[in-house]
Amino acid sequence: MSEHEIVKAPELAEPIGYAHAIVAARGRTVHLGGQTAMDASGRIVGSTFAEQFEVALRNVVAAMRASGCAPADLVSLQIFVTDIEEYRSALPALAPIWRAALGRRYPAMGAFGVTRLFDPEAKVELMAVAVRPD
């Protein structure tokens, strides 16, 4: 399988922690539903942003694996947060969580501050797109 191509647009600022664009290698597109810090029993776990982000990211990886994808197949991630400043403050703690779940490769990403999420206790929700190899 060939890897997805990471694109850097020379006229844009250097991407740090995300990619400007990803050109997917051959495969089938997998749209993953939003994942929060919900455990298998249906309750939100983790009191800090980093704790909730870790569970939500593990949930994304679990959904990817169930769809026949590996972490390297992730091409896009949208991060919805209820407190953008809490997210920014947590960034140093998120780097090792990210690397443990997905390695050092970053997809095309966007972060969005929202008023609230469906689960009132949730601080973060992740929506992703992956491309499953043929």
Q: Which pair of structure tokens corresponds to residue 132? A: 């499953």
Integer CA distances (angstroms), 29 to 15, 24, 51, 57, 69, in order:
24, 9, 29, 19, 10
pLDDT in tens, 48-61: 999 999 999 999 99
Per-residue pLDDT of 1-54, as tens digits, reads: 458 777 888 888 888 777 787 777 778 888 888 999 999 999 999 999 999 999
Query: Which residue ranges form the domains of the chain, and what is each CATH number?
Result: 5-132 (3.30.1330.40)
The pairing of beta strand 28-35 with beta strand 5-7 = unpaired
pLDDT at 2: 56
